[in-house]
Structure 1
Amino acid sequence: MPNGSEVGDTLPGCAAVMRLLGGSPAGTAAYMTSWLLVEQPGPWTADALERVCDEVFPAQRMDALRAAGLRPLLIRRPGRHRREPGAPRTVYLASGLPGGRWLERLEIADLAELAALDLEAVTRGRGGHGTPVAGPLFLACTHGTKDMCCAVLGRPVAAALGENHPGRAWEVSHVGGDRWAGNLLVVPDGYLHGQLSPDEAALVAKSALAGQVQLDQLRGRTSAPTAYAQYAEIAVRRRAGLRGLDEAIAVGESRPDPVDENLRLVSVRTPEGVYEVAVRRGPAVDGAASRCSARIAPAGYSVLSVHLLATV
């Protein structure tokens, strides 16, 4: 009789299970308003990012920066990962706040140089730290030691984008949501996409280069404060056919029923006017076991209504 480990090894990965269950990635983006992207060639351990941050920043400072919306991430070029002794590291700083996005690049010889960066200013949306770069960057999560699905599904995405968009495409450390692999983060646009094949990632890149958002497999705008806001923005975009970066921005959220803790009314600003979207979070649907997690179950978000309250 096979033991528990052998049974687990025969199960599909969490991303495959989520696809089989028909889970939608809408409304699942991790909260990020700004980024510190540090080149780290070579293999990544599961705690590679934490090791880099601990080497440079006091834990209390990094915790405060994360709470303010800064997301530190490691990046490496697609393909074979080799460390070149003495080679400078590329660092990107970026802000994804609507109406104020920017991307800057600098080179450092040693990780200790990161400590001098004014990351508090970055979280407030203030640039001026490096050389301005015309974005976007395409960051495909390939952090396999965090979850194997990210490597299996993310590396083909990174390889394809690296071939078609050299210099713009990078592999990135864990962005959250292994079950939505392949995950692709566009910076500084601030949109996270999931369940992508290389061909689907190519469409995301094509849209981003045109200053637009690809709606298929969109997890959400990372600077939106809640899952309800992300879900409502996507619903309005689909209804009105809006693809511009700032054409659907959640500007308010309320809980209309004090008894129903899973219902929200979200106000979404668009070029047409303000929409009111009723979003409900229901119980998760029946799940299934995976190799990566004990059980995978999609969340039960749904849109109850979409109304245009006022026109411009």
Structure 2
Amino acid sequence: MNVCSSYLAEPLAGTAKQESVYVLFEWPGGWSRDVLDGETFGAELTGKLRAKLKGVAGLQLIRRPGRAGRQVGKMHRCYLVWAREAVMEMVLLTGPEQILDLDLTGPGRNGGGVIDAPLMLVCTHAKRDQCCAVKGRPLAAELDRQFPASLVWETSHTKGHRFAPSVLLMPWGYSFGRLTAQAGAQLLARAIEGKFFVPANRGSGLLSPRCQVAELAVAQLLLQAGEELAYGALELADAPSSTSPVRVTHPDGRAWDVALEQREVAGVVSSCGDEPKTARAWVPRTEPVLVLGT
């Protein structure tokens, strides 16, 4: 059997889950293959949730790692994330039907408390792909042991199980893949300080694949030069033509043009059991070129 996450040919950059608003609902078990396929919450409620969330927000089911995560009391934690504003709030709900009553148009409209700490969501969705359970659960358990205060959660499908362990970082909505325990600990330690982390970074869910790759190229350039960078600090202006560079601007006024091209990547296995295929990936054609500033 072809185990998808064992194939490392595909670049990580440019593969992030694209979403700007998230509902992270604590639901300890019974995640069907697609949490909105009707098997997790029943057909009637699922239909209502789909209508509520379509084009508005992405739903992630979450639970704490280990046995503790399989037990939830009468109240369920629900984190609401607006990645563009980098704002995360937490409300307590009695059940998934209360998601229907949430106002997801912006922060501060549901009576929730603002969460200042980051959350790391590690995909452990076994029914979607076995790699997520085999590689995700040990990572979530280890990082939960190192970082207290409920910073680490198991989550349902994050897109990209071929990159397991696959991770979402909130409140910024960045995706990461192929994380080791050491890299995961470094990622979370920097996230607590709001600092950008490049290794294993797949990109921002707010950006197109081209812009994800361009942002990561400039971020790597800055961090290698010893500069620090916060999530969301860089501004991206995608070009109307796919052959034109992406402009990346720093808050201090510096700007870089990143020339990109699509290349064929052989040996990509999308899911466990699939045959390897050839895909296409955006990659930088050259290093970022400084066009404004010194």
TM-score above 0.5, yes or no? yes
Change (3 A) 1:159 1:310: same
Q: Percent identity?
A: 27
Counterpart of 2:205 in structure 1 is 222
Counterpart of 1:64 in structure 2 is 55
Determine helix, strand or coil for the equivalent of 2:136.
helix
Determine helix, strand or coil for the equivalent of 1:267.
strand
Asked if 1:248 is matched to 2:238, the reply is: no
Contact 1:254 1:266 in 2 (8 A): no
Change (3 A) 1:232 1:220: same
Q: Name the CA distance, whole Å, in 2 between partners of 1:264 and 1:173.
A: 37
TM-score if structure 2 supplies the norm length? Answer: 0.87
Q: Name the CA distance, whole Å, in 2 between partners of 1:53 and 1:163.
A: 34
Letter in 1 for 2:292: A
**Unpaired runs of at least 5, structure 1:** 1-7, 256-261
Instruction: For residue 294 of structure 1, report the CA deviation from its aligned partner.
Output: 2.2
Counterpart of 1:112 in structure 2 is 97
Counterpart of 2:213 in structure 1 is 231
Counterpart of 1:42 in structure 2 is 29
Counterpart of 1:159 in structure 2 is 141
Change (3 A) 1:53 1:26: farther
Counterpart of 1:269 in structure 2 is 249
Deviations 1:113-165 (A, max 9, x none): 2111112x13xxx3332111112011101101100111111111111121122
Instruction: For residue 235 of structure 1, report the CA deviation from its aligned partner.
Output: 0.7
Deviations 1:18-73 (A, max 9, x none): x2x3x3211110111121010001242212344349616253442232xxxx2111
Q: Name the CA distance, whole Å, in 2 between partners of 1:61 and 1:289.
A: 29
Counterpart of 1:181 in structure 2 is 164
Asked if 1:27 is matched to 2:27, the reply is: no
Change (3 A) 1:127 1:189: same
Q: Name the CA distance, whole Å, in 1 between partners of 2:220 and 2:274.
A: 32
Instruction: For residue 210 of structure 1, report the CA deviation from its aligned partner.
Output: 1.5
**Unpaired runs of at least 5, structure 2:** none
Change (3 A) 1:174 1:290: closer
Instruction: For residue 77 of structure 1, report the CA deviation from its aligned partner.
Output: 0.6
Letter in 1 for 2:6: A
Change (3 A) 1:296 1:212: farther
Contact 1:161 1:201 in 2 (8 A): yes
Determine helix, strand or coil for the equivalent of 1:143.
coil
Q: Name the CA distance, whole Å, in 2 between partners of 1:269 and 1:110.
A: 43
TM-score if structure 1 supplies the norm length? Answer: 0.83
Number of residues of Structure 1 aligned to a counterpart in Structure 2: 281
Contact 1:102 1:127 in 2 (8 A): no
Larger helix share, 1 or 2: 1
Determine helix, strand or coil for the equivalent of 2:273.
coil
Structure 1 window deviating more from structure 2 (285-294 vs 136-145): it is 285-294
The ranges of structure 1 where at least 4 consecutive aligned residues each deviate by more than 4 angstroms after the TM superposition are: 286-290
